[in-house]
Amino acid sequence: MRFHRKLRGAIAALACAAVLLPVTALASPHIISPNIGTFSVNQPLTVQWAEIVQGSNVRILVEASAPSPLYGNNTTIIAYQRPNSGTYTIPAATLRGLCNSLPTNLQPLTQRVPLSHMDIRLSVRSYNNYSGHDYAKGGVIKLKGCPFNRADLTFGQATLAANQNNLAALTSGNLAVEKRVINNSPTIPPPTTSFTVSVECTPGGPNTVLTLTAPANLRQVLRGIAEGKSCKITERPPVVPGDLVQRGCGWTTTYPNGNTAEIKEDDNLSRMIVNTWSCKPGAIAPDRQQNGKR
């Protein structure tokens, strides 16, 4: 009897221990990050993964596909023969290289799809000398920051974009050009004039000329400039009448916040041009001199 009581106690203890033991599911290869969000091609991007165990090295791949109704896909190897450390930082220069490789390699080859419109997945694959490799694919992310010229859109794509009201969805920003006039002459007011400003954006435009006139048209906005463009504003010297030139009058042009702008997605940038009017001390307006007034 004593033996049976000991046996029952031992069985009960084992049962309790079995209940307390944790149940661990087999882990599967997976991407830790990035799995969601929008990332700039001008910044390094760190990829983290877990449970990739087969093989001593891994490959990092970018899988890109065009969203419906466009179609096509492309896979680009970003890094290979990397130690399986679980993390790898993709240099910004490598990401920027995707701007040229991914859109033009889509099928059909006549389509150019901006990188920001594509569904991007980062994947990690182990490899060795035999079949059977661990593989993990991340969620859909977006990459932005590539220069994209709208002229690259085919006619069909441009029509599609216009019909779906998503042409503005191309990564672009706006640039406002503003004018301010300062009168530093107590005796001769500045003449009424139009201020002509050229705007040149590289690479590939837009290039335009703006005319700013007082009082109601001293601010104009250029909209939909593709991200990645560098725009420079240059004012052409305002015309000064000859009789005012003889009195030492003239304009001084300055750009308080610079005369260049780097366009980024959804930016609303502004650049101001200040024109200061001044004359020689004691200068008298021509009409007063003609009337004999000193």
pLDDT in tens, 215-259: 667 889 888 887 788 999 999 998 899 989 988 999 999 999 999
Residues pairing with 124 in the sheet: 60, 136
Q: Which among 223, 33, 228 is positioned nearest to 115, based on CA atoms?
A: 228
CB 227 within 8 A of CB 265: yes
Q: Which residues contact 45 (CB under 8 A, 6 or more apart)?
A: 34, 39, 89, 90, 95
Residue 86 to residues 30, 77, 153, Cα–Cα distance (Å): 10, 17, 39
Task: Please confirm whether the linkage preceding 108 is cis (ω < 30° from 0).
Answer: yes
Q: How confident is the model at residue 147 (pLDDT cuts 50, 70, 90)?
A: low
User: Average pLDDT in the 277-291 region?
Assistant: 74
User: Average pLDDT in the 141-149 region?
Assistant: 74
pLDDT value at residue 107? 43
Q: How confident is the model at residue 53 (pLDDT cuts 50, 70, 90)?
A: confident
Instruction: Compute the Cα dihedral for 125, 127, 131, 134 and give only its sign.
Output: negative
State residue 191 phi and psi, 5-degree precision: -70, 155
From the number of C-beta atoms within 10 Å of its C-beta (0-12, 13-18, 19+), residue 69 rates as exposed
Count the residues in the chain. Answer: 294
pLDDT value at residue 24? 43
pLDDT value at residue 217? 79
Instruction: Compute the Cα dihedral for 38, 42, 43, 46 and give only its sign.
Output: positive
With a cut of 60, say whether residue 95 has pLDDT above it: yes
